[in-house]
Structure 1
């Protein structure tokens, strides 16, 4: 299950959706500073599903935030689809995130006063664009909620709310979808439904998905598992396919984490 990478850890192929080169992120300064990421170099090929794992405090969420333009690295570079993020203004980063990147988090972050279709349309409205009703219905159908368009979050289960959040992330047809513990607040059945949808978006649409997770079952849906320990890439695994290989992944991740001690 091991996977060889380039000497600097990046993927230099032209079909790379995201590339991190020597990314370091420190919080604070002086003796009290904390290094969340330490010289991380990674490439994420287009049309692939990557899971990022590691112990608590290993830098998983910081990696996602830097790769998605939600946080700026202290040093190093991040390139999304040929665009260097570290040189963009705050306005430029906002536009890039709004138009080219989708997000799904453990917390669904839906507005309780809005219906499912209104929540899905919100990113377009915030961008000053009129949401095409057909497109809103299309993404709701895609996540299996075509019949729940007029329901509010309080009228839906947790799994349904996460699928609304997923539809909202897809409304702009993003190049990359970032998911931070997307199944963390769901029961196992709802979690599998969301993971199957993510897997289908990679296989059926060629979408690029990067998911932070602590769950080896969730990671088994990915093509590749990147293991972080103390802010550094400590190894990679190749997933065995949807729903398969969770025990192997758990064992290998434990080995890689232990090897760094």
Structure 2
């Protein structure tokens, strides 16, 4: 039986106060088994990105418990939380977040440097090779296509060998062919290396690459699908977005 790589229990998160208070997450309990790929979907404003940020330790919930590999995040100091993220968590975002003045290999090496670790060039080159960018190691982001930049971001996430990878709309800024390539890389990380991936997406095709799809509505879990095709996921999304006239 697989253990849980990520576990949220009774997690709530609000923003603002008084009449302007908004509930982004409302008593969410959710587990992500080790070595699985989960997509999180829902209408705009449903709390998807907030869920990812709380699960990754980038944001603190107002209440509830968040665990990564059995470690409780909500009681950690900011310093210990930062160290845990550097050692055990990888991130890939739609915006790539590459430093424009650094080459691809320098961007990939950055998490290791920030962690105070020695940066063997062989490890950096191996990470770039995994995403098919060996020949682009010395190119800066401005010299790379959007798909290539996203693959550099993936290599940067992989170089620390994280237990868990969080991806927020990783294909949102890519064309369909490049998006498929990135999704194939994510799928391979789960199937061949046993990584755990939690991905927020609005795209049913992207979500169909996951083992399961969890749906959020108004900050609450609203069911899930396992092994569903893109058409089935799209149909479920349509019911979630339906608003009575």
Normalised to the residue count of structure 2, the TM-score between the two structures is 0.97
Match of 2:176 among 188, 208, 211: 188
Pair 1:16 & 2:4 matched: yes
The answer to whether the 8 Å contact 1:229/1:260 transfers is no
Report the counterpart of residue 247 of structure 1 in structure 2.
231
Report Cα offsets for 1:71-92 as digits up to 9, x if no partner.
0000000010010000000101
1:149 pairs with 2:152: no
- Is 1:48 matched with 2:36? yes
Question: Which residue is 1:208 aligned to?
Answer: 196
1:170 paired to 2:158 = yes
Q: Is residue 2:104 matched to residue 1:120?
A: no
1:239, 1:249 within 8 Å by CA — same for their partners in 2?
no
Q: Within 1, Cα distance between the matches of 2:241 and 2:219?
A: 12
* Deviations 1:48-95 (CA, angstroms, capped at 9, x unpaired): 000000000000000000000000000000010010000000101111
Change (3 A) 1:259 1:232: farther
Residue aligned with 1:104, SS: strand
Structure 1 residue aligned with 2:67:
79
Q: Does 1:226 align with 2:214?
A: yes
Return the alpha-carbon distance in structure 2 between the equivalents of residues 159 and 171 of structure 1.
18
Aligned structure 1 segments of 4 or more residues deviating by more than 3 angstroms: 256-261
- How well do the aligned residues superpose, as a CA RMSD in angstroms? 1.5
Alpha-carbon separation, structure 2, partners of 1:20 and 1:253: 23
Structure 2, unmatched stretches of 5+, are none
The C-alpha deviation readout for 1:111-134, integer Å capped at 9, x for no partner, is: 111111100000111111121111
| Shift, 1:260, TM fit | 10
> TM-score normalised to the size of structure 1?
0.91
